[in-house]
Structures are given as structure tokens and as C-alpha cells.
Amino acid sequence: MAREKNPNLEILMLAVDKLGELAEEMVFLGGCATGLLITDPAAPPIRVTRDVDAIVQLANPVGHAGVRLRDTPADTENVR
């Protein structure tokens, strides 16, 4: 899918920018990443999402503390 047709690219790039070097250790998934995976030009339009889902492996509590110390506040609203 062409980048200009991906409505979620801007929010994904904003998250990557905020995460800095940590983003290199993360895998982005969910709705924000869908447009990066679809290559069929006949595919239906990508739905807009308002969040960015990511996963990272932390080997120890020190790694977790490093993630929590980022300048982005924790989003506890959507914690399940």
C-alpha cells in the first residue's frame, strides 16, 4: 500500500520519534502497523486508529525502569 494512503503512518512515526532509540527494540503491531503490511493495491482502505500498539522484551527490572523513565507519561486509561 502506498505510504500516502496509510492514514496511520503519521501517528506511528510520532510514536517512533518519541521513543527514540528504544523504538529500534520494539515491534509495532495492531491497527497502526496494518498499512505497512498490506501490499495488494486492490485491498480495501485501511481503518484509522488512534493508538499505537508495541511490544518489547525486557530482560530485567532495570530495563523496565528505563522504559518507565521515558518523558512520555504512562497511559493508564487503556490498561487491561
pLDDT in tens, 27-50: 999 999 999 999 898 999 999 999
Torsion, CA 6, CA 9, CA 12, CA 18, rounded to 10: -170
9-32 per-position pLDDT tens digit: 999 999 999 888 889 989 999 999
Residue 79 CA to residue 33 CA, distance in Å, equals: 20
C-alpha cell at 69: 523513565
Q: Measured on CA atoms in the order 8, 10, 14, 16, is the torsion positive or negative?
A: positive
Q: What is the pTM of this model?
A: 0.68
Check if the beta carbon of residue 26 is closer than 8 Å to that of residue 57: no
